[in-house]
Amino acid sequence: MALVFAVSLAGAVHADNSLDPATAMASACSSCHSAHSVSSDAEGPGSLAALTANEIEQALLAFRSGERVGTLMNRLARGYSDDEITAMARVLTKQ
């Protein structure tokens, strides 16, 4: 019985790892940037729905460089490479 559970659990873990890296990274964005977020011109996180991939990419690069000030985004953006930022921006515009 334990072996059956372990095998089924391994299959579930494998299914979770089937997301491509950009989709997995971008999925964290929706916790703050949902469709119900405040507008992008207001203080706080805005919805990413109306932004193009280029706009998202430029915003992330600006946060990463310190050109754009933030409380959390500037720290998060520093963890991503140029290629990861580009890939995440493309994923976010498809959601």
Structure tokens at 88: 């995440």
- Can you name the residues that pair with 46 across neighbouring β-strands? 38
> Considering the domain boundaries, does residue 41 fall inside one?
yes
Range with the largest mean pLDDT of 34-38, 41-45, 50-54: 50-54
> Considering the domain boundaries, does residue 14 fall inside one?
no
> Considering the domain boundaries, does residue 11 fall inside one?
no
Q: Give burial (CB, 10 Å; 0-12/13-18/19+) of 76.
A: middle
> What count of other Cβ atoms lies within 10 Å of the Cβ of residue 57?
20
The answer on pLDDT for 90 being more than 90 is yes
At 16, the pLDDT band (50, 70, 90 cuts) reads low
At 3, the pLDDT band (50, 70, 90 cuts) reads very low
For the chain, the domain total comes to 1
**For the chain, how are helix, strand and coil distributed in percent, rounded to 5?**
60, 0, 40
Residue 10 and residue 38: Cα distance in Å, rounded?
39
